[in-house]
Chain A
Amino acid sequence: KQEVTQIPAALSVPEGENLVLNCSFTDSAIYNLQWFRQDPGKGLTSLLLIQSSQREQTSGRLNASLDKSSGRSTLYIAASQPGDSATYLCAAHSTGTASKLTFGTGTRLQVTL
């Protein structure tokens, strides 16, 4: 059974700082790993998807890495801005589970002025 953990649960950083969010998963048999952002009371916005065969994906100031053998993924946010404040969730898509995503509990990020 896939289990996904995110550390830290909450993070507060000053504007402009670079930061790393961590995600670990127990079963390395995955199709892909997806990172999402959720604003309070809203739905999820897809940020990046890394296929199991990939090591990295980049979009703007975001870079996600995947190390399947160690069951880890990281989301790097460069030059953080107050608008980046949100909860960040990672989700593992395990093989043989159709479209089912297993989510971590999220990291709540606050970027202060």
Chain B
Amino acid sequence: GNSVTQMEGPVTLSEEAFLTINCTYTATGYPSLFWYVQYPGEGLQLLLKATKADDKGSNKGFEATYRKETTSFHLEKGSVQVSDSAVYFCALIRNTGGFKTIFGAGTRLFVKA
């Protein structure tokens, strides 16, 4: 079946540190891959996406590369800010008679000043 596995949190970093949140997936065929971010008290917001192998999604300094050979889509940012504190969800979307999104469990990030 289709599934997404993320590294467990929470992840605690100091401001300007380098961030990596690991995400691996299991899927048949060629899913699209996404990272969503959820700030406290808010709904999920699309952060970035990649729709085919070797694509790199990027937004707000965050990047993730679709690696088919390792079935991974790790999220990275070179220098985190306090305002990046949130929960990050890795997700895949399969078109199975309608686009169906499968989410990972989420990784909470705390950034200290």
The answer to whether A and B belong to the same complex is no
B-side residues, CB < 8 A to A, are: none
A-side residues, CB < 8 A to B, are: none
